Structures are given as C-alpha cells and as structure tokens.
Structure 1
Amino acid sequence: MLNDRLRTVMAAGGWTHADLANTVGVDPKTVERWINCGRTPHRTTALEAAEALGEDVHALWPALRQARTARAVSPELVTLYDQRADAPVSTFTDLLAAARQQIDILVYAAVFLHEAYPRLNDLLRERADDGCTVRIALGDPDSETVQQRGGEEKFGHGIESRCRLALMHYHPLINTPGTEVRTHGTTLYNSIYRADDQMLVNAHAYGVNAYRAPLWHLRRTSDDGMFDTYTASFTAVWETARPVEG
C-alpha cells in the first residue's frame, strides 16, 4: 500500500530516498519500501525521520498511534518450541529447501542435522545450483570461546570434537559455487538457520545443552524487527569468520 503522505512530504521538501536514508541511518531501499510498500519503520527510526522532515510522526505512520504496550506475541513469531528437540528435523530441512535467494547457517556444530538428514549437503548444493547464496559459519574447535562453551555445557572437549565433525560434514561443499564455509570464534548467543525471509533461532542458556533450549521460527514482516536483529548478528559474526580452505 502506497504511503502517499510520506511521498508528498518528501517531494515538497526536496528529499530523495538517499537523503532520508542517510539522515536516519538506514538503506535507501528501506525508505523506498516505506513509500511504495507501506512499511512502518521501528518507532525510534520513525521519530527521527519525522523530525527531519518536519512532520508529525502519526501523520506519516498512523499505525504508530497504537498504545506502546507489550505484545503477547510478536507478529514475526510463527512457532515457539520449548526445546529444539521438540522440532522435527523436517522443520529445518523444509525451511532450507524453500530458499530461493539466501541461506545462512550460524552454529558451533549442529551435527544433529547431518545425522538426522544425511542428504543435507545435497539439499544445500541443489539450492546453490538454483542461484541461492549459501553461507555456513561453524565454530572454530581451537578457539578459546568454543572450549569455554564445552565446559559450560558440561561437554568438556566434546564440543570441540563436534565442531571438527561438523567441518568434516560440510567439507564436500567447500568448492561448490555459491557456497562458502567459514569458522568463527565468537560467543554463540543463538544458533541461526535462515532461508530468505524465514529463520529458525535456537536460543542458548548458560549450562544448558542447545537441544534443551528454546527454538523459535520467525518470518520477516517489517523493518528493524526481530528477524533483522538476528540477520545483523549473523553478518557481524560472518565478517569475523575465516574461510575454510578446500
């Protein structure tokens, strides 16, 4: 739905998409979606944009008139599992199989996927062949952070062995066009499995094995929401990760 009010105000003030984007710190395509798709920005961003344009924020985005009360359920939340173990492996494989543009996987090991679904590499290779960009970030078994997590989860050196096993599982994909495997040594607050505008997030809790921690299925519905928060987290880790050589 076109946001004609925003378009008119910007035109009257001589604002381009790039001008407003630079002012509030977003991508010009985001501003374009505000206008052409009727997207409502995050309240903080909307207030900054309205102030820059000299317009009432509620006149630009009436949806923000709603009382600022906590939501019982986020509109981006599709499903919440009490534990990752409650989700069948098809939850993961169906999500990845539906991807058409982007697959991002951020884990330490997550060897349960290959163990439960031996065709995982074939699935990822097929997605890459169809034009998907596939990025896989695995835990560096030699990093202090991974070793510390092992102690916290009462696995000891077991987690390092699982990271090495994960590298073995994904190794055949290293030279696949459109696919890149890297290792990282960051603190893993959440494991992330993204396929285009859908994502599975496995939360982590101190002293709790990942399979016992909650898993939520997100679908991107707005800018600056939960989905974008985890996407930014993946990007930050990816930029620190080291490519795995074939």
Structure 2
Amino acid sequence: MPYPKTRFRVAAILEEDESYLWPDSVDRASLVGAELIASYPRRNDVPRHLWTEILRNAERNVDLLAFAGLFLAEEHPDWIPTLAAKAEAGVRVRLLIGDPKGQQLASRDTEHQIGGGVAGRVAAVLAYYGQRMPPAAQIRLHYTPLYNSIYRFDDEMLVNVHVYGILAAFTPTIHIRRVDGAWFNTYLESYERVWASARPWERGAAV
C-alpha cells in the first residue's frame, strides 16, 4: 500500500478518486454507495455525450445486453464506427440482442401494444451490426426476461432499469463504476449468465 502522499499524487495524475484506486486504504463503511456515480430518472436524461465518451475510453471490454438498443445506432452517429474500431483494436466486444424466436420478445411487444415493433427494432439493429461490425465482435441472441439493459465499458457501466408497461427510454438509468464490486459485480454476473445461455448469431442469417 503506497504512503498517503504517493496515493494522492498518483490519483491526481490519473484523475481518479483515491478510494477507487486503493479501496482498502479507506474505511469500508465509507465505500457504501461509492460505485454509484450518477442516476437519471429516464434514459433520455443521460447526457448524450456520455455513451460514446465512455465507449472511447474502453480498452478491454465492451458488453451490451438489451432487446435491441437501437437508439445507440440511430441517435449516436459515432457509436458503430467507434465500436467497430474497438473490436478491430483487440477490445473484447460482446453484444446480446433479443432473440426474435424467443417468447420474451413477443411478451414485451404485447406489453407495449406496438404490434410487432420490438421485433422490427431487433431486425434493424442486427442489420446495422451485421453490415458494419468486424468479425471480432461477438453477437448472440438471448431469450431471457430483461429486467435491466446493461451497457458495460471496462469498469464503468450504465444500467437501464426496466419498468412494466413503460418504454426503456423513459425509465431510470444508473451510472456505476467498479470500486468494491458490490454494485458492479451483481450486474456483471447477470450479464455472464445471459451470455452463457444465448445462441450465436451468424451474420447474414435469418433471425
């Protein structure tokens, strides 16, 4: 464990909190909630620049779990080019999209009474990724109930909480950063469980 003066200097250079770099250097009780960076009452309230900003900063892992997540491809012009560049540079990119053959997608469509709109959004986002993402990017289709959409960028994560009967754009979203793992690891474990049960999607194949 570095001396306090050294910890302070390193944290200042890296522009990080000392408790993030050395969680054991502070009282564990003081870390309660430290992973929660921000919360927003609606996904639409998340600053637009944040999505691509934390994507650009990712160097190891980019993981996405949603039914479609079409807003990223359509509302953020830099999203797909940046994501593709990350995959080509060796960042592990994993995309989990809702399986059109699964019951959960149909249930969500019935819930929102949009007459097949959810499946249409899935088809659209797969067309985007299928045409523009390199082979290094892994894409799987999941059939699990979606309690949250998860967007993970190394040690940062945006979690869009789902609420019955309300579109995801209008439900709460939290921004968390891994410190002691209590928040972050819960969602990461959930992601890994869904990834393990999903089926690989072959580009160009019918969904």
CA distance in structure 2 between the partners assigned to 1:113 and 1:88 by the alignment = 13
Letter in 2 for 1:243: P
**1:94-105 correspondence runs (5 A):** 94-105=53-64
Letter in 1 for 2:189: A
TM-score for both structures, normalised by structure 2: 0.82
1:227 matched to which residue of 2? 184
1:212 aligns with 2:170: yes
1:139 aligns with 2:98: yes
TM-score for both structures, normalised by structure 1: 0.69
**1:145-160 correspondence runs (5 A):** 145-160=104-119
2:201 matched to which residue of 1? 244
Larger Rg: 1
2:120 matched to which residue of 1? 161
Q: Deviation at 1:196?
A: 0.2
Q: Deviation at 1:154?
A: 2.8
2:148 matched to which residue of 1? 190
CA distance in structure 2 between the partners assigned to 1:208 and 1:156 by the alignment = 15
The size of the alignment, in residue pairs, is 185
CA distance in structure 1 between the partners assigned to 2:54 and 2:36 by the alignment = 15
Question: Conserved in 1, the CA contact under 8 Å of 2:84 and 2:134?
Answer: no
Letter in 2 for 1:237: V
2:15 matched to which residue of 1? none
1:51 matched to which residue of 2? none
CA distance in structure 2 between the partners assigned to 1:120 and 1:84 by the alignment = 16
Q: Deviation at 1:130?
A: 2.2
Find 1:118's aligned residue among 65, 68, 77. 77
Structure 2: gaps (5+ residues): 3-20
Structure 1: gaps (5+ residues): 3-36, 41-60
Q: Percent identity?
A: 36
